[in-house]
Chain A
Amino acid sequence: MLQRFLDPATLNSIAGLDLIAKTVVDGFVAGLHRSPDFGFSQEFAEYRAYTQGDDLRHVDWNVFARTDRCYLKRYRGETNTQLLVLLDTSASMGYGSHTVNKLDYARFLAASLCYLANVQRDAAGLIVFDEDVTNYVAPSTRQGQLFRLLHAIEQAQTGTRTDFTKPFVHFQNFLRRRGIVVVVSDFYEDPALIVKTVEPLRFRGNEVILFHLLDPQEIAPGFREPVLLVDMENSGAAMEVSPEYARHEYRTKIDAHIEALRSQARGAGMDYFLVDTSRPLDEGLREYLSVRRGML
């Protein structure tokens, strides 16, 4: 029932990002409890025979006392991880064919992820970038971190063009600890270049999730008549496009682009998720949690 609150249009009518994030995550988590496949807790994992070199701190001395044998007690570790959200605010993210544009959706998604991380006591951070890094909130679990994040997300405005190379090189310097890196962008760039740029994060042991945000009009444009398309990242560039072209050739090209990005990202060990901005947010969260689960 709460699922309907995850609808982007509904969320758009909510004023504060904190409330949006709370609504999304609470609703989402409430939905999760109905599912037996998901959920995580700190519990006993296994016993293992002690071998030379093992840390003696993990030996279960109660078992040793009873059996006179050394066994190591292993738990499914309740380790805190770090979430870093890379939010693309290039001009193209301002596009939206309905009430919620891509940047709004990205904000909702980023806010929801940060909130979720905060609930899980994970350190959450944020990097806002377009062709350069425009804002940075370092990952932390300190009191008030969530509000700093949400404020930063709130302040994010569409900038200029996308350039992955420069900001990625730049914020690789901020990442000192392994964690989950979530890149939220429309990825209007060559897939090979994107993967090449983002790949170093993966090499550092990070789990990288690419949230590819696209408006439904970008996936399947439906123009009734020839339109003069003006590039949002380059206002000087305009092109007259016929509906037939948008219906056939463009779709082929964008599908090829999506497929290339997906395959190359997965080839590089990254998770790729295509997000339709007309779809509810829970799909994005679910993707995050599946990765988060692997990090436990």
Chain B
Amino acid sequence: MGFVAPWFLAGLAAVGLPVWLHLLRKHKATPVPFSSLMFFERRTQSSIKHRRLRYLILFALRSLLFVLLALAFAHPYLQRRLLPVSRSGEVTVFAIDNSLSMRAAGLLDRARQMAKAEVSGLHPGQRAQVIEFASRIEVLSEVTDDRAALNAALDAVAASDGRTSFAELSRSLRSIAQSLHLPLRVLLYSDMQQSGMPANFSDLRLNADIRLEPHPLVSKQTPNFTVENVVAPRRVYSGAKTRVLATIAGFGTAKTVRNATLALNGRVIESKAVEVPESGRAAVEFNSLEVPYGRNQGAVKIDSADALAADDTFYFSVERADPRHALFVHDAANARDLLYFKAALEASGQSAFAIDPASADQTANVALSQYAFVVISDVGSLPESFEKNLRAYVRDGGAVLLALGRSSMGRAKVPVADLAIRGTRYAGREGDLFQSAAALDPSHPSIQQNNRWDDVKFYQAIRVDPGSARTVARLTDETPLLVDEQLGAGHILIFASTFDNVANDFPVHASFVPFIGQTANYLGRLDAGPPAVTVGSFEELRDAREKGTAIDVLDPRGERVFSLAEAATAQNIQFTMDGFYDIRRPNGRNELVAVNADRRESDLSPAAPETLRLWQNTASGVAAGGQAAGEQKPQSLWWYVMLAVLACAIAESLLGNRHLSVDKEAP
């Protein structure tokens, strides 16, 4: 028995009140002179004794009332042991682990057979349910007592490439128990990977009405090799040989030499022997990858000869494309800005874009749709038709980078963007000799990676009224330096100075290169994602403009993932198996996504038995390491105590009234 609020037991001291009233306070009969005692007898004493005895009953009732009140405030409870008979209506849940690691050595078949044996042992009318779990839960049967349905559900358990998540299993079991309002007996068939345990043990918490019976299929660690990671470019823009770096890992393995193979589109490119240390990692480098045009399926394989073959291949996708063109419009008399911009773009390692320079008067008949983005560097005036085309180009999703310099001084508005020019900010001999960048918005893609422009000196800047546009960078005198304006579906990025090392010394600073590289990627919408993702990750399929358009996704087996209705509405996709997903968008931006199983699955070391016992005991609260003889559940005694208080109060009132009735008759 315990108390929720034991400090209220201090109220037991109130019992002293009736003790004082009845016992300590001596009963004193008032001496009253009376004319004669000839009609009184000694036997009246017995009446008083009887009366005192009744007072003792009243005293006991009053004391009990105080004790019960103190108990009620302390809120007592009993640790009630849940006997098997009390778990009436218990539902047996067969939880089968179908994660990647269960593919090893027929573990899934063993789990299925053990579960079927349990199904055959169910009592008639005993209801059960079959679920499979990896990183997410799938319910394979209803709660039923039909053994055929349960066996069919067990047969339907299929191996997946997902990662074990016992936390997700616990969460689902809690919600199942809450929805059924019945006690659960969970038979867990799994290899009990340590890597499936959550970082926070409280995520494994089970409700009191869940009885977990783990059936570990593996008792000791199985050696396993895997290709843990591959570093390769996602896109290449030239025919040069590309470097691929793979990491080979061994879990519980002895020091050995493995053979690693690089394959592209199923064709072996290169093989290398790699020495993997004991339970360690080794890197292997391939330098002979020549990527043909188009989307290519790459893979690094090892000859592991271990129990789990599913993790011996690491997929990656690599795409060969021509560089995209960018139009650089500059003043014909000044090529310095072109020089600095081009040099910075190349220095950033970005070969995705090819710069097409043009002077302002050459732009009249340029077809803008072929350019990934357009740079207009300090041009005095643009042909009207070009400016009009440029505006339409931006509205359709294009991007323009405007650099404002001396030529813009005479203009009232920024070309294309139509933002007002308020004047020019010069650094002079009086006052500040130069301005520097005071406030940078690091969330903007142009300066996300490199946001330290402290040593850059700006001598001249065009003061632009940003209006509702986003100010990404400001000078120390609050002059907007970099303004990003959304126009239609595209962007106009306004740099309020030049790229020619005259109005500032930005082009000769190290921070200029990443700025140009990131800006080009941002304006050209270049997706530089990883060459491979893990099973269970999500991919965005469409943006706001692509609403209603059908997107085809083919899974590694070549089957369509979405139905026709889903293809028109699905916003994203979760990759559930390893291999290559082919995503075909209507705008031609097709993509080949390489998906690999989470390599934490490759560590086949099972969780310690103590950990499993702890998990079991999260429901019953038994001390760690102890055998749970039975589940215990606190049962509140508050209502019983309150009923006793009520009964006691009524009895006290009745008895007290009976005593007081004498007084009522007295005159």
Which one of A218, A237, A240, A244 contacts B45 once the chains associate, using CB atoms below 8 Å?
A240
Chain B interface: which of A35-43, A124-132, A228-236, A263-271?
A228-236
Assembled-state Cα–Cα distance A223/B48 (Å): 13
Contact B40 A222 (CB under 8 A): no
Q: How far is the CB of A171 from chain B (nearest CB, A)?
A: 23
Q: Does A262 contact B (CB under 8 A)?
A: no
Q: Does A56 contact B (CB under 8 A)?
A: no
Q: Does B432 contact A (CB under 8 A)?
A: no
Using Cβ atoms and an 8 Å threshold, which residues of chain B touch A245? 40, 44, 47
Q: Does B26 contact A (CB under 8 A)?
A: no
Q: How far is the CB of B377 from chain A (nearest CB, A)?
A: 113
Contact A243 B666 (CB under 8 A): yes
Q: Does B33 contact A (CB under 8 A)?
A: yes
Scoring B36, B38, B48 by chain A CB atoms within 10 A of each residue's CB, the highest score goes to: B36
Assembled-state Cα–Cα distance A241/B662 (Å): 14
Contact A242 B41 (CB under 8 A): no
User: Of all chain B residues, which has the CB nearest A161?
Assistant: B36
User: Of all chain A residues, which has the CB nearest B30?
Assistant: A227
Assembled-state Cα–Cα distance A185/B201 (Å): 99
Contact A230 B33 (CB under 8 A): yes
User: Of all chain B residues, which has the CB nearest A215?
Assistant: B35
Q: Does B528 contact A (CB under 8 A)?
A: no
Q: Does A148 contact B (CB under 8 A)?
A: no
**What band does the interface of chain B fall in when counting residues whose beta carbon is under 8 Å from A?**
20 to 34
| Beta-carbon contacts under 8 Å, A222-280 to B | 222-234, 237-245, 247, 249-250, 253-254, 257
Which one of A223, A242, A253 contacts B666 once the chains associate, using CB atoms below 8 Å?
A223
Q: How far is the CB of B616 from chain A (nearest CB, A)?
A: 67
Q: Does A102 contact B (CB under 8 A)?
A: yes
Q: Does B7 contact A (CB under 8 A)?
A: no
Scoring B31, B35, B42, B665 by chain A CB atoms within 10 A of each residue's CB, the highest score goes to: B35
Q: Does B586 contact A (CB under 8 A)?
A: no
User: Of all chain A residues, which has the CB nearest B49?
Assistant: A242
Contact B35 A95 (CB under 8 A): yes
Assembled-state Cα–Cα distance A231/B35 (Å): 6
Contact A222 B31 (CB under 8 A): no
- A-B interface contact total, Cβ < 8 Å: 92
Q: Does A92 contact B (CB under 8 A)?
A: yes
Q: What string of 1s and 0s marks CB contacts (under 8 Å) between B640-667 and chain A? A: 0000000000000000000000110111
Q: Does A188 contact B (CB under 8 A)?
A: yes
Q: Does B32 contact A (CB under 8 A)?
A: yes
Q: Does B29 contact A (CB under 8 A)?
A: yes
Using Cβ atoms and an 8 Å threshold, which residues of chain A touch B665? 222, 247
Contact A222 B47 (CB under 8 A): no
Using Cβ atoms and an 8 Å threshold, which residues of chain B touch A240? 29, 44-45, 48
Contact B40 A229 (CB under 8 A): yes
Contact A227 B32 (CB under 8 A): yes
Assembled-state Cα–Cα distance A188/B35 (Å): 9
Using Cβ atoms and an 8 Å threshold, which residues of chain B touch A231? 34, 36-37
Q: Does B51 contact A (CB under 8 A)?
A: yes
Assembled-state Cα–Cα distance A250/B36 (Å): 12
Contact B34 A222 (CB under 8 A): no
Using Cβ atoms and an 8 Å threshold, which residues of chain A touch B34? 95, 218, 229-232
Q: How far is the CB of A186 from chain B (nearest CB, A)?
A: 6
Contact B36 A92 (CB under 8 A): yes
Q: How far is the CB of A222 from chain B (nearest CB, A)?
A: 4
Contact A229 B37 (CB under 8 A): yes
Using Cβ atoms and an 8 Å threshold, which residues of chain B touch A229? 31-34, 37, 40
What 8 new A-B contacts, CB under 8 Å, besides A92-B35, A95-B35, A244-B662?
A222-B665, A226-B29, A226-B48, A226-B51, A230-B34, A232-B35, A245-B40, A245-B47
